[in-house]
Amino acid sequence: MTLLQESTTRLRAREISGGESAVVGPLKAYHHETYVLSPPSGMGPVKLREPRSTSLWFDRRCFQSEEELLRGLKGRIDRVPDVVDVEGMGLQTFIEGRTLGAHRWRWGRRVPDAVFEQIVALFRQMVPITAETLHVERRCSPQDAPEDGDTDGFLKRLVVFVEEQVYAANRARFGGLFEELGVRDASLVRLGRSVAGLTERPFCLLHADLHRENFILDRRRGLWTIDWELAMVGDPLYDLATHLYLMRYPADQEDRMIREWCEAVESVRPGSSRGWQRDLRVITDFKRAQSVYTDTIRAALSLHDETGLRWAALPRVAGKLHDVLTAAAGPLGLEDVPGRREIMAALAHRHREYAAGA
């Protein structure tokens, strides 16, 4: 019996759908084991997904349930998955189409105008949704939620999350690697200071993970937004900064997105783009710094499999990590970014130490 057949998630999918032939998957996903299935009731295809026990979570989550959030967004955000009840479980409908990432081979990094305008419309629809108007249970306690407009407090909590839940929580296993890369405790202190002093802006709903794989184009060229698990309520400029950082638009489209985003959010809630000229750079610096911590750990993990260190992948992984470190050198105060060979040596050294202690 294979590992796939032993999966309790797959067994559950088979039971709900009434047979193996009605189950597709697992789909490619990092945090979840996901299947598409067709319940015998005749409703359309739905997704069954459960967290992988081996996944590391590097992002703060605000809402108790993505499905309950989607129920709350129904009628307020165009083209998000429906949630249907199947055998006592709320399951998301499966959106048929292709992600923007899958279309990259045709368009490069450029997004067609019709798609671009739908992304701007999504931002416009999120702005009026606030903590007071969205009656969905949240994870954070009232004491841990910054007051509306406290953009400094919002970003500070994200810095603290990186410090406590990413860096400190994994220091025993990866602390030596961070040290060899020149990333030390003082780096986070510097980051906290460098991202202070943001302009106040009214809070609203944020998706917080708007990249090409979370946008799906259906057959009618309608744009659907999926994976709302990292959604939160906070600074609207954070959502724009994250989106630009993840999308990697060409320079002219990035400028256009900033301009049209400002027009869209200001038309709904004046003040939502206040101070963007400085603060967009500050928040982007945080995103670059955050990537150092998450990407370093993921890089180290990606090089290890049941056979040991994947030597053939080492140069490529080290090259990507070098780019991440270079981009974050300013926010983290890294005086000397190690070269690719030094990063390769650090990753190999970490692997030997981990293998010896395993």
* HEC string for 132-163: CCCCCCECCCHHHCCCCCCHHHHHHHHHHHHH
Reported as a single tens digit per residue, the pLDDT across 188-241 is 999 999 899 999 999 999 999 999 999 999 999 999 999 999 999 999 999 999
The residue written with tokens 């992600």 in the block is: 99
Q: Kind and range of the H or E element at 329?
A: helix 329-332
What average pLDDT does the segment 246-255 reach? 95
Three-state DSSP class for residue 63:
strand
- In terms of Cα–Cα distance, which of 89, 131, 151, 97 is closest to 283? 151
User: Token pair for residue 266?
Assistant: 């200001």
Residue 35 binned pLDDT confidence (cut-offs 50, 70, 90): confident
User: Token pair for residue 156?
Assistant: 């500070």
Measured distance CA(349)–CA(181) in Å, rounded: 12
Phi/psi at 206 (nearest 5 deg)?
Answer: -120, 140
Reported as a single tens digit per residue, the pLDDT across 95-143 is 999 999 888 655 568 999 999 999 999 999 999 999 999 999 988 777 6
Reported as a single tens digit per residue, the pLDDT across 134-191 is 999 988 777 678 899 999 999 999 999 999 999 999 999 999 999 999 999 999 999 9
User: What pLDDT does residue 345 have?
Assistant: 95
- In terms of Cα–Cα distance, which of 133, 177, 165, 198 is closest to 353? 177
Strands (E), the chain: 23-24, 32-37, 46-51, 83-86, 89-93, 98-99, 204-206, 215-217, 223-225, 232-234, 304-305, 308-309
User: Token pair for residue 297?
Assistant: 């750990």
Task: Give the percent of the chain with pLDDT over 90.
Answer: 68
Residue 2 binned pLDDT confidence (cut-offs 50, 70, 90): very low
Which amino acid belongs to residue 218?
A: D
What average pLDDT does the segment 283-294 reach? 96
For the chain, domain boundaries: 19-93, 160-199+284-358
